Amino acid sequence: MAEQQNADGTKRELTKRHVQMIALGGTIGTGLFLGASNSIMKTGPSILLVYLVLGIIFFLMMRGIGELMYHDPDKHTFISFIGKYLGDQVGYFAGWTYWLGIIFVAMAELTAVSKYVQYWFPSWYTWAIQLGVLAILVAINLIAVGLFGEAEFWFAMIKITAIVVMILVGGFMVFTNYKTPIGHASLGNITTHFAMFPNGFMSFVAAFPMVFFAFQGMEFIGITTSETKNPRKVLPKVINEIIYRVLIFYIGAIAVIMAIYPWNSLDPTQSPFVQVFQLAGLKAAAAVINFVVLTAAASALNSYMYSAGRHFYQLALDTDAKFMRHFRKISKTGVPARGILFSAALVLIGPILNSLPQISNAFTFIASVSSDLYIIVYLLTMMAHRKYRQSQDFEPDGFLMPAYKFTSPLVIGFFIAIYLSLFITGDGIWPALGGLIWTVGFMTIIKLTTRKQGIEAGVDIND
């Protein structure tokens, strides 16, 4: 088959299996392998409801993004639709906000990767691990998009294998009423002493933003479309499979965990997978899960480098700033190499900041703010989708968001509710305020700058 190449030089090398695994890799991360114990302890068995509700919301969001990308599969990022349908200023804000969010989350992932490696090699220097890992992943991204897809395929395969094995082992333990040091494996462990809000209603509410951020990254499918072979054939199938992945790999895994390990007996500081495998008699459980979590973090970092390069390339196309013109070129291998390298250079600043006691807390705060800003970007994306539906561009025969008149306001309302919940869940209030300050400040600066330019050109934008 002849190589498919876009007009700007990027290449459509990602296959269906690549995109499927990228979607899965973006959905399943360290939030499940490490953070699920804390969520279960706070919410009890009703955590299954939290995952189900958020799984449905994210699926509907992806159907909205899918409809946009199906309409115009040449867009390098779904953020482009925000500028097209909500205005250049809002699109500019969303583009920079999402890119900076990726950079800060990538910084955090790089720091985590070094800690996982030091589990086996405690004498290795942190900076050397981080530099080596980032160099490898950047090289993967620079060589060809197909190599990135292949790397993500195998990263995701490791995560899937770990979850499937845990579900099968756990299912066997439940079916045989396996006796463990803390009791018997049984579905009764989920329902015994069941309470909808065992730690109070506010703990239940607090679980929603925690699980929300665990799903963060699912939207990466909307960044691969312009480099995917036959996107209008692949995209609908991959997105429609999301809900099944959520049911099996999140809800299925957590149900098995609670059936084996009574939810109120879990150690919130330890991976639930480690605890389950240890009860099953796997002595090397901690080492095995550390390897899985390492690959999960490396997978996330690999995806962030891919995404950051494409978003910075798109930002370069959308602005006339002289500095940004250098990033409009596509390399001979068909990737935005300069955007990838510039993003990687900034990511290396993160570990340095995180190692300084005076700055470490500020770094953590900024990373939290960037995560909260993702909610605002998701919200703007869904608003852009509504504008698309009302425009002449709308394709009634396209890949449509189901029951749009009901589901669209539902998703938008839910995102607003999630952001508001950050103000009543303790530690979330300051990052949430930081997110609002960033949004208002950024948009104010854009409007003032645009107004000044208009006046200098002899045009008042208020006229």
Residue 120's CB is within 10 A of a number of other CB atoms, namely 11
Report the pLDDT averaged over residues 141-146: 87
Q: What is the pLDDT of residues 311-324, one digit of tens each?
A: 899 888 888 778 88
pLDDT digits (tens, 9 = 90+) for 234-246: 889 888 887 887 7
* pLDDT over threshold 80, residue 419: yes
* Separation CA 33–CA 317 (nearest Å): 38
Domain residues of the chain, as ranges? 16-451
Q: Are the C-beta atoms of residues 422 and 209 closer than 8 Å to each other?
A: yes
Average pLDDT, the chain: 85
pLDDT average, residue stretch 285-295:
87
Q: Is the pLDDT of residue 2 over 70?
A: no
Q: Which CATH number fits domain 16-451: 1.20.1740.10, 3.40.50.1360, 2.30.42.10, 3.40.50.1820?
A: 1.20.1740.10
Does residue 404 or residue 108 have the better pLDDT?
404
Mean pLDDT of 13-42: 77
Q: What integer is the mean pLDDT of 138-151?
A: 88
Distance of alpha carbon 92 from alpha carbon 79, whole angstroms: 9
List the single range of 2-11, 126-135, 148-157, 291-300 with lowest mean pLDDT: 2-11
pLDDT of residue 1 exceeding 50: no
pTM score, whole prediction: 0.88
